[in-house]
Amino acid sequence: MNYLLIKHVHVTAVTLSILLFALRSYWSVIDSDKLRNKAVRILPHIIDTILLVAGVTLAAVIGPEQPWILAKIVGLLFYIGVGTIAIKRGKTPKSRAIAAIIAIAIFAYIIGIALSHSPLSWFA
């Protein structure tokens, strides 16, 4: 198993995931019909599955008992919950926009954890 290759796949999927999330959030806020496009509905699931498989593989290689990995998982759960409000469940454009900003902040926190290997993220 090539650690650097898996890490590269993971980082690439992270980048694609957040870019697509930001675009979909924007479309959600402006009530664009582009959100109904079949590729727009399917592609995030493919990218996020690749992201998750690569992340789990990396965690297995590193050792999942690392506190920072647990912090990333908890952050991911919050990101997913808030992200669904930003794209689907928010009742108004304003609530979807606020949820999108919060989700992106959570995503930034997760990136900080990944870079610092600390649950304190950017504050370490």
Which pLDDT score, from 0 to 100, does residue 118 have? Answer: 95
Q: How far apart are CA 1 and CA 58, in angstroms?
A: 10
Q: How far apart are CA 20 and CA 18, in angstroms?
A: 5
Q: Are 21 and 103 in contact (CB under 8 A)?
A: yes
Place of tokens 């992201």: 51
pLDDT, one tens digit per residue, over 79-99 is 999 999 999 999 999 999 999
pLDDT, one tens digit per residue, over 43-55 is 999 999 999 999 9
Is the pLDDT at 64 greater than 80, yes or no?
A: no
Read off the amino acid at residue 56.
V
- Three-state DSSP at 99 gives helix
Which pLDDT score, from 0 to 100, does residue 65 have? Answer: 81
Which pLDDT score, from 0 to 100, does residue 121 have? Answer: 94
> Of 115, 92, 108, nearest to 22 (Cα)?
108
The Cβ of residue 124 has, within 10 Å, a number of other Cβ atoms equal to 12
Read off the amino acid at residue 6.
I
What value does the mean pLDDT of the chain take?
Answer: 94
60 class by beta-carbon count within 10 Å (0-12 exposed, 13-18 middle, 19+ buried): exposed
- pTM of the full structure: 0.90
Instruction: Please give the angle made by the CA atoms of 95, 101 and 13, to the nearest 5 degrees.
Output: 125
